[in-house]
């Protein structure tokens, strides 16, 4: 049975078609379905790939991203672990050192703390520690961000913490197409990749048609979502959608160049520098607290490379420097279209 046939059997509920223009087999899915499909394809392709984590096996994960994988590949390749993030990460490090391609899932980003030691002090450092003799090829999947009214410690955006760590790559796609291509690329990488999945967009009402067959998107390559020449807006994760909504609130004479970073580390400096040198203005949007967030690093890069091109100070729209408030105030904490539109208007009026 061919891979395409096997994949169709794995998830027959997804709608499929052949694109009339390109002849490419396509599948209609949301973000979480794209991740599940990619995991199945990668496990079909490479017997070294295994999934592990809390409830990822029998229950298919708390967000059902691994739904059906254990039934298909067995409990030796998709297996539940004890409630110990340090143990999950340490086991994955050992599997990677032994020649496997593990995909550990940390159930929520707030649970990364206990896994920090194994991830940062070991996985990220083995290449250097062993002078290149040992690498840790693993992809750590982590649902991330707010907007679903989860309790405190379940809604943070800690990407800046891990982008600060040499030896780790940090990825955060926000569309099904990007999730599929970046996850496949991450599994080809010889070093650890932290794959953040914005849970607010797991199951958006709108679904995308994407290629069903395997493809990759290079890690470290941002995407220009819309081209423009008035102002550059840079974002990633779920905040990209708030930026796109904000663009609908602007006057027609404001032309926005929207950039989705997709990869937090390494940063695609070339794309953002070229854009801001063209527009002369920039607004950076992210969910994480403003102080020492990734927006500060991007603003510094633009200060270093675009100073003589800037027509206004770089603006940041971010979460507040507080713990994420629970439920009623959560959506007030997160950047929204109104705040983004106000920032764009401000830089345009400077």
- Using DSSP's 3-state secondary structure scheme, residue 97 falls into helix
From the candidates 122, 149, 154, 305, which is the catalytic residue? 154
Contact 171, 263 (CB under 8 A): yes
From CA 310, how far away is CA 133, in angstroms rounded? 45
Question: In Å, what is the CA distance from 123 to each residue of 39, 187, 228, 318?
Answer: 21, 15, 40, 30
Q: Verify whether residue 149 is a known catalytic residue.
A: no
- The backbone torsions φ and ψ at residue 120, rounded to the nearest 5 degrees and listed phi first, read -85, -45
Interacting residues of 148 by C-beta distance below 8 A, sequence separation 6+: 155, 199, 200
Question: Angle at the Cα of 27 (from 202 to 170), degrees rounded to 5?
Answer: 45
Query: Residue 195: helix, strand or coil by DSSP?
Result: strand
CA 99 to chain CA centroid, nearest Å: 25
Catalytic residues: 154
């Amino acid at each position: 049975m061919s891979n395409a046939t096997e994949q169709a059997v794995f998830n027959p509920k997804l709608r499929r078609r052949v694109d009339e223009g390109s002849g490419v087999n396509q599948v209609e899915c949301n973000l979480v379905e794209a991740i599940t499909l990619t995991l199945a394809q990668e496990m079909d392709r490479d017997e070294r790939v295994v999934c592990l984590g809390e409830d990822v096996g029998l229950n298919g994960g708390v967000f059902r991203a691994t739904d059906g994988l254990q039934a298909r590949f067995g409990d030796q390749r998709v297996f539940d672990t004890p409630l110990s993030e340090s143990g999950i990460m340490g086991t994955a490090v050992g599997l990677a050192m032994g020649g496997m391609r593990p995909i550990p899932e940390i159930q929520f980003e707030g649970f990364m703390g206990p896994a920090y030691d194994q991830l940062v002090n070991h996985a990220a450092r083995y290449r250097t520690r062993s002078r290149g003799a040992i690498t840790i090829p693993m992809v750590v999947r982590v649902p991330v961000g707010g907007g679903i009214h989860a309790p405190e410690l379940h809604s943070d955006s800690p990407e800046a913490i891990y982008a600060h760590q040499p030896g780790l790559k940090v990825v955060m796609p926000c569309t099904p197409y990007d999730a599929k291509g970046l996850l496949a690329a991450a599994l080809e990488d010889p070093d650890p990749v932290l794959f953040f999945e914005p849970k607010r967009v797991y199951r958006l009402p709108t679904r995308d048609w994407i290629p069903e067959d395997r493809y990759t998107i290079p890690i470290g390559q941002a995407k220009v979502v819309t081209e423009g020449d008035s102002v550059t807006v840079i974002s990633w994760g779920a905040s990209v959608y708030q930026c796109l909504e904000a663009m609908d609130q602007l006057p027609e004479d404001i032309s926005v160049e929207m950039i989705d970073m997709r990869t937090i580390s390494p940063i695609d400096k070339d794309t953002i520098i070229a854009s801001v040198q063209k527009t002369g203005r920039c607004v950076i949007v992210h969910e994480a607290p403003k102080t020492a967030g990734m927006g500060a690093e991007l603003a510094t890069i633009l200060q270093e490379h675009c100073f003589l091109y800037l027509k206004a100070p770089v603006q940041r729209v971010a979460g507040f420097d507080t713990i994420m408030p629970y439920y009623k105030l959560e959506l007030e904490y997160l950047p929204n279209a109104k705040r983004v539109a106000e920032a764009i208007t401000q830089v345009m009026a400077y």
